[in-house]
Amino acid sequence: MIQKIPFRILIGKLGLDGHDRGALVIADYLRNLGYEVIFSGVHKTAFQLTNIALQEDIQAIGISILSGSHVHHLRSLKEELKKANSEDILLFVGGIIPQADHKILNGMGISGIFPPGTSLESISSWLEENLG
Amino acid sequence: MELEPKDKGSFWQIIFALKEDNTEPLSKRLGRALSLAENSVFLPESFSNELNIHYNRPHIFVLVGPSGVGKSVLVDRLLPYFLNDFKSIAILATDPTSTVSGGALLGDRVRISNENIDSRVFYRSVASRGSNKSYSDSIPDMIQVLSIFEVEVVLVESMGVAQQDVSSSLIADTLVNVLSPSAGDEIQIYKSGILEFGDIFFINKVDIHNSDSVFNLLQMKVNKGEGNQKTDFPKVIRGSATERLGIKDLYFSMLSHLNNVNPLGFED
């Protein structure tokens, strides 16, 4: 029997934001769809999260954030991924992200933005589309 | 780094190429190499014996015990000691793959404190992917990859095991059997299964439960030989990972067992 190799996804938390319920809901949902989901735990720096992504050889990082500092943290994460020559890793983000910031994040190359009210299905179909 | 091995020969060539490729960060290369070992569906069984002539195999510690007994936290508590004595350590932390979805939530990493995220610690979460052992079937090949990358010590954290699963003893140089003092009465200790294996028994959570009866029974049960044949192992230690009790004792017992098994030490 040849098994399909599952995609590996890192669900991460950056900075001082210690709320992990949303991250765990997403992690559980993706696991039930057949993904191998690694949860980073809370309070990681962009550098640490990048190192985790490399060690775990993941294909996508989902950031859950509600602290309001999403632009700052995602910019640092982008920079760290670039330094590690790993810009091919797909990024998506969920949490309290005001409409006005969507453009900024889009400009950084982040298209998967999932604000409050997002259905779980829209996250998984976005992933399916973008993971190829 | 889009590399697809087609057969055994090219598999190891690719692993060696990844090791030598200094244009990419080490953790990326090793991460990718481990995925190749993990994903190599074309190999019916492990080919781990082939390269042992050229490379020192790292010492393999395996932590085994039931789900929730504290293995992941113990790994975190042991890390500072290992970093003090060794140049590099890899942790392979296994969690189960869902037989329903084929997915897995790999959550052992959550227990690792931020101060232990160090460039000398390579931490990899491994899903069981249908293995009926307490670790993934690809673990032996992943260990071989770690040897090629010259990792000094490997800590395998097995999945939470049931009592009849003794598979961890097959890959361990040093088997650490982690127990909770609350896991039943003395009859449980006398039963066959995983409790028949272990170089070191660590009774965890002594801050929550009285561990005297389990400790005394295990002490009585482990056979350390007689007279000249008497050995220090198996050793019974008790402590608490969360409260950082008994960790030093555990570490130095692991180290002493390593020196027993591998008295010449590692080549520099």
For the domain that residue A105 is a member of, what is the CATH number?
A: 3.40.50.280
Q: Which range has the worst mean pLDDT, A59-63, B124-128, B137-141, B204-208?
A: B137-141
CB contact under 8 A, A36 and B104: yes
Residue A121 lies in a domain: yes
CB contact under 8 A, B28 and A86: yes
pLDDT score, position B50: 52
CA dihedral (B236, B242, B248, B252) in degrees, to 10, reads 50
More confident residue, B231 or A129: A129
Q: Which range has the worst mean pLDDT, A62-71, B49-58, B62-71, B129-138?
A: B49-58
Domain that holds residue A67: 8-131
Q: With the C-alpha atoms ordered B166, B172, B176, B180, is the resulting torsion angle positive or negative?
A: negative
Which of the 8 DSSP states describes residue A132? -
Which of the 8 DSSP states describes residue A3? P
Q: Which of A14-28, B36-50, B161-175, B181-195 has the highest mean pLDDT?
A: A14-28
Q: Report chain A residues whose CB lies below 8 A from the CB of B24.
A: 85
Q: Which of B40-44, B61-65, B208-212 has the highest mean pLDDT?
A: B61-65
With CA atoms as reference, the chain B residue closest to A42 would be B110
ipTM of the complex: 0.93
Residue A84 lies in a domain: yes
Number of domains in chain A: 1
Mean pLDDT of B28-48: 76
Which of the 8 DSSP states describes residue B244? T
pLDDT score, position A120: 96
Dist CA B38 CA B143 (whole Å): 11
pLDDT score, position B262: 64
pLDDT score, position B41: 57
Residue A38 lies in a domain: yes
Nearest CA to B172 out of B187, B182, B161 is that of B161
Residue A76 lies in a domain: yes
pLDDT score, position B48: 47
pLDDT score, position A63: 97
pLDDT score, position B9: 63
pLDDT score, position B154: 96
More confident residue, B181 or A35: A35
Distance (Å) of CA B198 to CA B92, B167, B184, B221, B261: 19, 12, 19, 12, 14
- Is the predicted pLDDT of residue B47 greater than 70, yes or no? no
The Cα angle at residue B103 between residues A124 and A33, in degrees rounded to 5? 30
More confident residue, B227 or B233: B233
CB contact under 8 A, A39 and B110: yes
- Is the predicted pLDDT of residue B129 greater than 50, yes or no? yes
Dist CA B235 CA B250 (whole Å): 9
> Out of A31, A48, A54, whose CB is closest to B28?
A54
Q: Across-strand partners of B180? A: none
pLDDT score, position B195: 78
Dist CA A16 CA B74 (whole Å): 25
- Is the predicted pLDDT of residue A104 greater than 60, yes or no? yes
- For chain B, which domains are there? 49-261 (3.40.50.300)
Residue A3 lies in a domain: no
pLDDT score, position B136: 87
pLDDT score, position A132: 74
Dist CA B152 CA B203 (whole Å): 27
pLDDT score, position B46: 46
Residue A1 lies in a domain: no
pLDDT score, position B156: 95
Distance of CA A102 to the CA centre of its chain: 15
pLDDT band at A111 (very low <50, low <70, confident <90, very high): very high
Q: Across-strand partners of A95? A: A65
Q: Report chain B residues whose CB lies below 8 A from the CB of A28.
A: 105
Mean pLDDT of B102-108: 92
Dist CA B55 CA B146 (whole Å): 10
Residue A2 lies in a domain: no
Mean pLDDT of A91-95: 96
Query: A56: exposed, middle or buried (C-beta count within 10 Å: 0-12, 13-18, 19+)?
Result: buried
For residue B61, give the H/E element and its range.
Answer: strand B59-65
pTM: 0.91
Residue A46 lies in a domain: yes
For residue B202, give the H/E element and its range.
Answer: strand B200-203
- Is the predicted pLDDT of residue B214 greater than 70, yes or no? yes
Dist CA B210 CA A4 (whole Å): 47
Q: Report chain B residues whose CB lies below 8 A from the CB of A54.
A: 25, 27-28, 31
State percent of chain B over pLDDT 70: 86
| B231-260 confidence digits (pLDDT tens) | 889 999 999 999 999 999 999 999 999 988
- Coil, strand or helix at B106: strand
Dist CA B115 CA B8 (whole Å): 39
CB contact under 8 A, A41 and B124: no
Nearest CA to B57 out of B181, B159, B149, B184 is that of B149
Q: Report chain B residues whose CB lies below 8 A from the CB of A32.
A: 98, 100-101, 103
Q: Could you give the angle at which helices B8-20 and B139-148 cross, rounded to 10 degrees?
A: 40
Cβ-based neighbours of A113, under 8 Å, separated by 6 or more: A92, A93, A94, A97, A102, A105, A106
pLDDT score, position B45: 47
Tokens of A106: 């889009």
State percent of chain B over pLDDT 90: 48
State percent of chain A over pLDDT 70: 98
- Is the predicted pLDDT of residue B200 greater than 60, yes or no? yes
Mean pLDDT of B157-181: 85
Tokens of A89: 């890793």
- Coil, strand or helix at B127: strand
- Is the predicted pLDDT of residue B89 greater than 80, yes or no? yes
Question: DSSP string covering A67-100, please?
Answer: SS-HHHHHHHHHHHHHHTT-TTSEEEEEES--HH
Mean pLDDT of B193-222: 88
